[in-house]
């Protein structure tokens, strides 16, 4: 069907749409180092970051937002749905270049605050922690080998665009990551409900230093070898009657505690 103005929307069978759809599978995404970002917020941030290769959207959505990308293609509702993993597609999907950097590159920038995700396999949790780290002003987020792929569709959506704001490191052995962080001058704090030290007791002198926080899965926490490799094993104090905090909440408390003390130190210097 031809729209007014002579535009023929792509369908799910159009070759460019079919090629983009393959990026929903990790082996194709890794082969081309490209992934799909869905929704207006993620697309807006990806465009700002300069990593959009092609933008697919319905006529209504493209008209509403007026996105300016190198290549913009109008697709039918069915064509857009074929590129989406959600029940209710948000009207726009971008083909983006991978944004991850090697750990060595992230450390050259002398980060002050880093979040490390280990064995976090739930993409929603991982994406939310990345978004939280961005909000707290963290410089980098590391996904170790045992964690979910940061380009997983649900993970990308959960970051709400923060994937494009911080250095994202993809892969690396957990112990190797800890060693590299220490060698770069960061102290490493491992979060655990059974930590010997309470977050409340760390004090300004320690919390204001360059810090990497290690976060493990809600079900299993961090393995013993990482707990032993860290400079401290820290628990978030529970002052009420809750049994525990979920991963995203605990990450927010820890990252914001460091961020607050680091900014106080900067302001005083």
DSSP letters spanning 29-86: HHHHTEEEEESHHHHHHHHHHT-EEEEEE-HHHHHHH----SSEEEB-HHHHHHT--S
pLDDT for 145 equals: 94
Q: Between 4 and 122, name the one with better pLDDT.
A: 122
pLDDT for 220 equals: 86
Nearest C-alpha neighbor of 124 from the set 145, 162, 150, 146:
150
pLDDT for 146 equals: 86
Could you report the per-residue pLDDT of 179-214, keeping only the tens digit for each? 999 999 999 999 998 888 999 999 999 999 999 999
**Token pair in block for residue 65:** 């937002």
Q: Is the pLDDT of residue 5 over 80?
A: no
What average pLDDT score do residues 16-20 get?
97
Q: Taking the CA atoms of 128, 232, 245 and 249 in sequence, report the sign of the dihedral they define.
A: negative
pLDDT for 53 equals: 97
> DSSP states of 127-151 as a string?
HHHHHHHHHHT-SEEEE-TTSPPTT
pLDDT for 3 equals: 43
Q: Between 125 and 220, name the one with better pLDDT.
A: 125
Q: Is the pLDDT of residue 15 over 90?
A: yes
pLDDT for 6 equals: 52
Say if residues 93 and 153 touch (Cβ distance below 8 Å): no
What average pLDDT score do residues 80-108 get?
95
d(CA 167, CA 165): 7
pLDDT for 8 equals: 85
What average pLDDT score do residues 230-242 get?
94
Lowest-pLDDT range of 22-31, 184-193, 217-226: 217-226
Contacts of 31 (CB under 8 A, 6+ apart): none
**pTM (predicted TM-score):** 0.93
| Total count of residues recorded for the chain | 269
d(CA 112, CA 41): 27
As a whole-number percent, the residues of the chain with pLDDT over 90 amount to 90
Q: Between 34 and 87, name the one with better pLDDT.
A: 34
Say if residues 112 and 210 touch (Cβ distance below 8 Å): yes
pLDDT for 2 equals: 36
The model's confidence at residue 149, banded by pLDDT at 50, 70 and 90, is very high
Hey, what domains does the chain have and what are their CATH numbers?
Answer: 15-97 (3.30.1330.30), 103-268 (3.40.1280.10)
> Dihedral of the CA atoms 180, 117, 136, 212 (nearest 10)?
-30
What average pLDDT score do residues 79-92 get?
93
Query: Using alpha carbons only, how large is the chain's radius of gyration in Å?
Result: 21
pLDDT for 238 equals: 92
């Amino acid at each position: 069907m031809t729209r007014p103005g002579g535009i023929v929307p792509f369908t799910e069978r159009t070759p460019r749409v079919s090629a983009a759809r393959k990026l929903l599978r990790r082996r194709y995404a890794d082969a081309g180092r490209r992934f799909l970002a869905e929704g207006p917020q993620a697309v807006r941030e990806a465009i700002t970051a300069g990593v959009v290769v092609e933008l697919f959207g319905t006529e209504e959505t493209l008209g509403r937002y007026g996105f300016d990308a190198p290549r913009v293609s109008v697709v039918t509702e069915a064509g857009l749905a074929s590129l989406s993993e959600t029940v209710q597609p948000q009207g726009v999907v971008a083909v983006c270049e991978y944004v991850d950097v090697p750990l060595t590159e992230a450390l050259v920038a002398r980060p002050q605050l880093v979040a490390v995700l280990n064995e976090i396999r739930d993409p929603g949790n991982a994406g939310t922690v990345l978004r939280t780290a961005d909000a707290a002003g963290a410089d980098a987020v590391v996904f170790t080998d045992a964690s979910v792929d940061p380009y997983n569709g649900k993970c990308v959506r959960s970051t709400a665009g923060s994937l494009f704001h911080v250095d994202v490191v993809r892969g690396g052995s957990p112990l190797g990551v800890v060693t590299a962080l220490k060698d770069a001058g960061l102290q490493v704090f491992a979060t655990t409900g059974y930590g010997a030290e309470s977050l409340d007791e760390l004090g300004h002198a320690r919390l204001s230093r360059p810090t990497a926080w290690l976060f493990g899965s809600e079900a299993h926490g961090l393995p013993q070898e990482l707990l032993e490799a860290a400079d401290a094993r820290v628990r978030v104090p529970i002052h009420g009657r809750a049994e525990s905090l979920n991963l995203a909440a605990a990450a927010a408390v820890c990252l914001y505690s460091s961020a607050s003390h680091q900014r106080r130190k900067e302001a005083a210097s």
